[in-house]
Every structure is written in C-alpha cells, then in structure tokens.
Chains A and B, each alone.
Chain A
Amino acid sequence: MLGSMPPFVLFFVGAIVVAFTKGTVRKGVVLAVPLMGLVNLFMTAGADVGAPSAIGASVGQVYLTFDLFGYELQPYRADKLSLLFGYLFHIAAFLGFIYALHLGDGTPDGSVASEVGEDDVSGDSKATVQHVSAMLYAGSALGAVFAGDFITLFVFWELLAITSVFLVWARDSDRAYATGFRYLIIHVVSGVLLLSGALMLAHQTGSIEFGHVAGELHGDEAGGLAGAGLPALLLLIAFGIKAGFPLAHNWITEAYPESTPTGTVFLSAFTTKVAVYALARSFGGLDELIWIGTAMTFFPIFFAVLENDLRRVLGYSMINQIGFMVAGIGIGTAMAVNGAVAHAFADVIFKGLLFMSMGAVMTMTGRTKGTDLGGLYKTMPLTATLCIVGASAISAFPLFSAFVTKSMIMVAAIDEHHYIVWLFMLFASAGVLEHAGIKIPFFAFFAHDSGIRTKEPPKNMLVAMTIGGVLCVLLGVFPNTFYALLPFEMDYHPYDTRHVLTQLQLLCFGALGFIMLMKTGVYPDEKRAVHIDAEILYRKLGPWVMQAVGGAVGRLDAYVRATVMRLVQTVLGGLDRTHGSMGPLARSWASGSMVLWVALSLAVYLLFYLF
C-alpha cells in the first residue's frame, strides 16, 4: 500500500478521472476512491500511530516533508486525532457519493418537483460539476486534517472554500449564485486571517508547525493579546469563522439550504468539522471557547423553532451541535476533548442522515418548507423511518450515537465545575429534541397532509440513508469499540441506570411539553417568512452603509466637480471675452495699420534717442 502518499492525493487524482468518465465507470470510481483511501489509511498510518501523550502535544508520525524558504512543510502528518477525522471524512465521502450516485441519470421516477417550477431541483444537469467538486472538496478536507504545518493547512483551507462553492452554484439559480459568492468571500477572509496569523506566529517563534497555540493567546508573560497573542487571536478568528462562531454563523444557514440536495450532504460533512479539528489541535483548553460554545448551543435553537425551511432548521441545528464540540474543546480535559471529537464524528453521520432525508424529500417534491410539506409518510415511509432514526440519534436517545458522545462533554463540564454551562447544555439538549428530533420529521412527514403524492427516492439514496442509520445505532450500541479510536486515554461508561433514566426523563417530558404546546395552540405556526439574523449585517446594513457613504461621496464629488466646472467656465468665459472671436485681442488687424504702429514706435524711439 501507499504508506507515504498523503490521503488527499487519491481524491485529487480521482477527481480528474471522474471529470473524464461517464455512467457506470464514473460510479465505480466515486465509490472506489473513498473505500480504497479508507483501507489504505487504516493499513498504513492507522497501524503505526499511537495516542498523543497530552492535550496539545503532537507526537504524530510525519510521513512527508519538504523545505520551503527554510521552513519545513509537512503535507502528511498523522496522529490519533487526525486519524479519527481521516476515517470520518472517508466514510462521509463514501456515504455522500452513494447518495449522489443517481446524478446524471435524469429526473427520478415519481418526482413532482416540476410542480413547483423547478425541474432540475437536484442539479442533475450539473452532475459532473457536483461529482468533481465533491471529490476535490473531500480531498481538501483530508489534506487539512493531515497537514502538519500552517502553510499546508492554509492551502487546503482555501481549497475547501473554492471546491465546495460549486456545490452551491450547482443549484443554478440567481439566489444560489449570490449566496455562493457571499460564502466564498467569507471563507476566503477566513483563509487570509489564517495565513496572517500563521506568518506572524512564524516570525515570532520561527516555526510554522500546526500545533497547540492556546497558550499564546493569553501570553505567558505580560505581553497579553497585544504581544504574543495577536497571531493566535487571528488563527482563532479564522478557525471560528469556519466553525460558525456567533455572528460568523450565517454562512451555514445561508449556503446549506441553497445548495442541491446532494451538495448539502457534502457541505454538512467537511468544512465545519475541519474547523472543529483545527480548534481541538490548536486551542484545546482555551477557557473562552467554553462560553463561545455554550452560546452556540443556545441561540440557534430559538431560530430553529421559528424557521420554515427545514434544511435551514438543520443549519441552525448544525451550529447548536458544533457548540457542544467547541465547549468540549474549551473545557480541555481528556474526556471533554474526546467527547468533542467523538461528537463531531457522530454528528457527521446523523446530521448527514437528516440532510439526506430532507434532500430526498426535496428531490422528490421540490419543496423543503414546513408550510409546503406534511403527510409524506404515506408515500415515503422508508425515508420517514430513516429520518426518525437520524432524529433519535441527534436527540441523544439511549442506543443512538449522540447518547454516548455528547454525554462525555456534559460529564466533563460537571467534573470541571462548569455548572452554569451544564445547565445551558441541558437546555440546549432539550432544544435539539424540539427542532431536530420532533420538528423535522413531524412537519415533513406527518402534521397536516399536504396532499403531495410522490414515491420513495432513488435506491442509491435509500442505501446511503440506511447505512447512515445503521452507523447511528452501531455507534450508540457499541460505544467501547468507538472509544478505542479516540485520541486520549479515558475511563467512561455511558450506560448506567442513572444516565439512561435521566436522559429518557428529560427527552420524554420535553416531548410531553411539545404535545401540550401543540394542543394549546401556543406552539408557533410555520410562516412563509424570514427571521432577521446576523446576516443582516452584511446583507442589509453593509450595503446600506455602502450606499449611504457612496451617496455622500457622490454628492461631495458632484459639488466639487460643479464648483471646479463653474470656475473653469468663468475663466474660459473671461478668456473668450478677451481672446474669443469677437474679443478685442483676437480681432484681425490690417497690415497697413501694423506698418503705421511700427513707424510710430520707431519715431518715439528716435525722439528718446535724440533728446
């Protein structure tokens, strides 16, 4: 096997092959690449990489290095932390490609998407673009997690943005193009901040190693933020933008609902998880992250209650789940960071499954809004069942994946005496049940009957969702096998009577609350509307300020121009009066009078000379 070949290479080569093949050959390639990559990774790096000794220490294996201007680039470095994400991204790519296998085969049988005026809702005509960019995108994510230095990380960080934006544009609507451009700008800014931070750090420390920099943020000595901390702060903001920190979170809720059904499945797997990985690698134990993460678990659930577009609801749900991970990284103990990365792993699978089920609904009906859907369980019973499996997994019901991953973060919060944080997280856990556990399946498949009659989605979509569902259950039922893959040593057993019972109490009484809210009519209806979020800053306020400033500058410019023009005109007018065609200085003179004037001046000169 190819031991020292960085995992991304296979995907980049695969993308070239995909671009020039069609039909069955292409289908074979898109499935073979992630599978081969996974086996290769497991047999090579997986076999000889041990656990890091402590949080932040990197004792990974470096497989490939070369020199650039005196700095050592490490395009392929692996330790247990990066390996876990490496396995995860291969699995996510494999599931995503199974799900996207039908692209290029035409509109699925039984689709009623054309009823809403969107014939090509799945971006079928853009099959090649979607397959190629998804392949490059997955490769970039792998490149980023196996990067051993910040320069390599930066390259893949930007590639993540550039390759994935095509998945948004594949929707081929004006809205998608505009959203894609905003997405691209936000991510390029994040990359520029990353590079600036990395270069400043290299200048200070002489090293570009992608390692732990949290200590730099507070400055070990008196320097503080202004001293050693600025490069670390830039890196934190760069990672934070991609992780969806508060105020920088709207690219998630904007881009995910605008992409194609298959595109969103890929989008949801990679970018944010690379950011979580980068935070775990560089900022484990940074106190500020605890509160940033807690805020992320908290505020999106309110938007999720109100939101009508179910894929946007899942976008908010994504921010909420990343909040748990960020808080876990901030707590920084072995169990907390293990919990954070384990939850990232579980999240890619269950959130992927939920996005897949909504994508299946969108492919078959052309609709994703709560107001347009309902009653689909009659015609899409398998999709509905698999959606409920994903919903149970994200809600952390016992025997499902989040039950064994999220609880590590919450137990670590108590053990480290972050009691308020724990209360917020418990509230957020109930909130997850509300929007992802109940709202998504209920409004899409049950609630009132929308009258839409369609069929189950293409078989490949059902297969991908089934594998996702099985993984959700396997992770929940056999946690110890999964825990062995986690980067740090710990002793945790999720299944004890107390944990199972209290979790069931929390969830079932939450659901009881939901039933009462529905029966009393207190639960808010879905509305065909948008709800203002931080995106207003750059979608309304920014343009408004630009317009206001532009207007003011324009008026000033007009005034200055008018004044100068008036001045020039005055001068020109004056010149015209004297030198113009009728002006006294421009009159033509007869040559006789000229001779008279010369004779006169000579006479005057003579008079002066003689007397």
Chain B
Amino acid sequence: MSGHGHHEVKEPVGWMDKPDTVKRLFMIFYVICGVLFLSEFILMGTENAHPHPLEERMRFFVYPIYGFISFWFLVLLARPMRTLLIRSEDYYEGGGAYDPSADPGHVSTHGDSDEEVTDAR
C-alpha cells in the first residue's frame, strides 16, 4: 500500500534498450513495406468494385504514396501552425506567450537525461 513501492523495483532493462533488437525490428518493418509495395502487382489482377477517379488516373501505387505524403503534409502543416498558435501552459490562467527557455522539455526522473533527450526527438 505504500506510495513509495517503486523504489524496490529493480532497474529494468527493456528490449528497446538493446540497439540490435530495435534495428532488427526496423528491418522487419522495411521488409513488410517492400512486400506491400510489390503487392501492387497482385492488385493489378483484382477488380475494383468501388473505383475512385484518383485510382483510375494514377493507376499504380496510389495508397502507399498517399499514405506517405499524408504524414509529411500533416507534419509540415502542423509546424507553422504551432508557431502561430503556441502559448504558455498557463495561458488561460493569465499567462502569455510561450517561452522556449522556460520549457525543460523531456524530464527524466533518473540522471542520464542528456543522451535520452537527443534520441527522444
């Protein structure tokens, strides 16, 4: 019942801490993407019951390209939006503009934060 039970927990090492595992996972994901890209050849042989003009015009690789571009478009538009709309956390309680120097960013409750913040991006 004690609120400080977490101190007894040993420092766990997760699979994300092992760069090899992470690298392997990324490789698997890239292979999946490659296979899905090639699956376009299977799609060529299937009938489209609900054709959209975009599919009729572009013919091939509509969905992978659309998905990829959507993410970039989303983020590239969100960034200038942030510049325009960002305010301090207490904006509605009387605060004002956002002050980057007052934002510590990611906080780690254990010491080695330097390295962590770099790969947090």
Contact = CB atoms under 8 A, between A and B. Distances in A.
Interface in A508-552: 508-515, 517-518, 521-533, 535, 539-540
A372 B78 CA distance: 22
Range for the number of chain B residues in contact with chain A: 35 or more
Contacts of A288: none
A526 B92 CA distance: 19
- By DSSP majority rule, is chain B's interface helix, strand, loop, or mixed? helix
Contacts of B68: 509-510, 512-513
Given A448-B120, A508-B67, A517-B72, A414 B85 contact: no
Interface string A385-412: 0000000000000000000000000010
Range for the number of chain A residues in contact with chain B: 35 or more
Contact of A497 (B1, B42, B52): B42
Interface string A433-454: 0100000000000111111111
A431 B89 CA distance: 25
B82 A306 contact: yes
Contact of A521 (B42, B49, B52, B121): B121
Contact of B5 (A106, A110, A450, A509): A110
A344 B117 CA distance: 39
Nearest to A301: B74
Nearest to B100: A527
Nearest to A532: B85
A498 to B, nearest CB: 5
A247 interface: no
A133 interface: no
B95 to A, nearest CB: 9
B46 A302 contact: no
Given A379-B12, A530-B92, A524 B116 contact: no
Interface stretch (A78-86, A88-96, A139-147, A418-426): A418-426
Nearest to A493: B49
A435 B98 CA distance: 23
Nearest to A112: B6
B16 A377 contact: yes
Interface string B47-89: 1111111100000001111111111111111110110011111
A119 B3 contact: yes
A30 B81 CA distance: 45
A532 B74 contact: no
B108 to A, nearest CB: 4
Nearest to B61: A505
B1 A107 contact: yes
Given A371-B107, A419-B54, A531 B85 contact: yes
A302 B82 CA distance: 9
Contacts of B71: 430, 434, 510, 513-514, 517
A107 B106 CA distance: 26
A529 B98 contact: yes
A111 B63 contact: no
A115 B7 CA distance: 12
9 shortest interchain CB distances as A-B pairs: A513-B71, A448-B120, A451-B110, A430-B70, A451-B109, A510-B67, A509-B64, A509-B67, A505-B63
Given A302-B78, A525-B121, A532-B85, 11 more contacts: A106-B1, A378-B13, A414-B51, A415-B50, A453-B12, A501-B36, A506-B66, A507-B67, A510-B70, A522-B75, A528-B104
Interface of A: 106-107, 109-115, 119, 301-302, 305-306, 371-372, 374-375, 377-379, 411, 414-415, 419, 422-423, 426-427, 430-431, 434, 446-455, 496-498, 501-515, 517-518, 521-533, 535, 539-540
